[in-house]
């Protein structure tokens, strides 16, 4: 009897340690949220998808980008992520039992990607400035925020044309002929434009802005028409010492038309990366 009584007292004393009367159920690893912080970078400057001239801003609520998670064992999960709305949990990510980390890759605007691969076509794309980001070796089930810094995939070409006061903007036309699409692999963080053909893009006025697939300089040419004067300029004759128009960089070509001459005042690659300045002169 004494032994039974002592056992009963011990059970009562241990009861509070094994019973949570008022607390919430503990959060398991898969039920934890993956906190994603997004930013858009151009040479260290924040940039908005709306592509403001000064590069300021961030994603706006409702912007949608494609997000792919790759587990340590190679499982892939694709999802559309809407900023300010989507909530992502670890349970949403395909992972092997022994996986200890994942990597995230993303692109804006969202794409219909098969296994993380898609073709980006500048002729048909509504938003021609493709952005992408990646974050590697994210610890599984972490609650620490994950930062995705988006960068520009395309190259930006700006052509500024100065003329005499009598020439109106409507009399100035600039054409750029170049490769226009590329195959993107989000998982590998690579793009390939080797198989694409060329397309000619046109702009009217003293300033022409073209978004181009990164490609060899030898693949690109400019055609300038001012009134009845016309000149075709292979880009490799202007940009000396640089073989490629690189991803995330900006090339500016300054041209003066005077007394029947088209003069290249100088070219710079800057803003997203500086490759130098080249001067030259083209006579019609």
CATH fold of 32-152 reads Immunoglobulin-like (2.60.40)
- Do 145 and 234 touch, CB atoms closer than 8 A? no
Tens digits of residue pLDDT in 95-150: 998 899 999 999 999 999 988 999 999 999 988 889 888 989 999 999 898 888 88
- Asked whether residue 6 carries a pLDDT value surpassing 70, the answer given is no
CA distance 238 to 232: 11
Whether the pLDDT of residue 28 is over 60: the answer is no
The pTM of this model reads: 0.76
Average pLDDT over residues 56-63: 69
pLDDT at 47 > cutoff 70: no
* CB distance 240 to 275 below 8 Å: no
pLDDT for 181-197, tens place per residue?
999 999 888 888 887 78
Contacts of 27 (CB under 8 A, 6+ apart): none
Q: Is the peptide bond before 5 cis (omega within 30 degrees of 0)?
A: no
Q: Give me the half-sphere count of Cα atoms (radius 13 Å) on the Cβ side of residue 82.
A: 4
Q: Please determine whether the domains at 32-152 and 155-278 fall in the same fold group of CATH.
A: yes
Please say if the pLDDT value at position 17 is more than 50: no
In this prediction, residues 217-235 reach a mean pLDDT of 90
Gap between the Cα atoms of 181 and 200, Å rounded: 12
Of residues 246 and 273, more confidently modeled: 246
Q: How does the average pLDDT of the chain come out, rounded?
A: 78
Q: pLDDT tier at 283 (50, 70, 90 boundaries)?
A: very low
- Which segments of 147-263 does DSSP mark as H helices, in order? 235-238
The pLDDT assigned to 85 comes to 86
Which pLDDT does position 139 carry in this prediction? 94
* Mean pLDDT across 196-210: 92
With a cut of 50, say whether residue 23 has pLDDT above it: no
Triad 146, 150, 151: Cα angle to 5°? 145
Tokens of 248: 């995330």
Please give the DSSP secondary-structure letter assigned to residue 271. Answer: S
Is the pLDDT at 213 greater than 90? The verdict is: yes
**How many helices (DSSP H) and strands (DSSP E) are in the chain?**
2, 21
Say if domain 155-278 classifies as CATH 2.60.40.2630: yes
pLDDT of residue 266 exceeding 70: no
Q: What is the pLDDT of residue 24?
A: 45
| Out of 9-13, 63-67, 151-155, 216-220, least confident range | 9-13
Helix, strand or coil, per DSSP, at residue 67: strand
pLDDT in tens, 144-185: 988 888 888 898 888 888 887 777 777 889 999 999 999 999
Structure-token pair, residue 224: 């300038």
Domain residue spans of the chain: 32-152, 155-278
């Amino acid at each position: 009897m004494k032994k039974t009584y002592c056992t009963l007292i011990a059970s009562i004393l241990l009861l509070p340690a094994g019973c949570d009367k008022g607390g919430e159920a503990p959060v398991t690893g898969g039920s934890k949220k993956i906190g994603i912080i997004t930013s858009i970078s151009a040479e260290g400057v924040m940039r908005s998808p709306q592509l403001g001239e000064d590069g300021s801003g961030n994603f706006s609520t409702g912007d949608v980008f494609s997000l792919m998670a790759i587990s340590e064992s190679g499982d892939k999960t694709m999802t559309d992520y809407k900023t300010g709305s989507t909530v992502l949990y670890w349970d949403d990510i395909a992972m092997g039992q022994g996986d200890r980390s994942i990597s995230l890759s993303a692109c804006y605007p969202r794409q219909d990607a098969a296994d993380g691969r898609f073709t980006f076509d500048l002729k048909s794309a509504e938003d021609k400035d493709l952005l992408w980001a990646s974050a590697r070796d994210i610890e599984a089930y972490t609650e620490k925020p994950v930062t995705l810094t988006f960068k520009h995939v395309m190259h930006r070409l700006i052509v500024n044309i100065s003329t005499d006061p009598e020439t109106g903007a409507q009399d100035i036309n600039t054409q750029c002929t170049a490769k226009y699409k590329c195959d993107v692999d989000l998982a590998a963080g690579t793009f390939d434009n080797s198989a694409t053909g060329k397309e000619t893009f046109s702009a009217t006025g003293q300033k022409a802005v073209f978004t181009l697939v990164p490609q060899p300089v030898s693949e690109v040419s400019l055609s300038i028409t001012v009134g009845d004067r016309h000149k075709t300029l292979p880009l490799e004759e202007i940009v000396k010492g640089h073989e490629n128009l690189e991803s995330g960089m900006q090339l500016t070509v300054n041209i003066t038309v005077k007394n029947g001459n088209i003069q290249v005042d100088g070219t710079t690659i800057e803003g997203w990366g500086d490759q130098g300045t080249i001067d030259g002169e083209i006579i019609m």
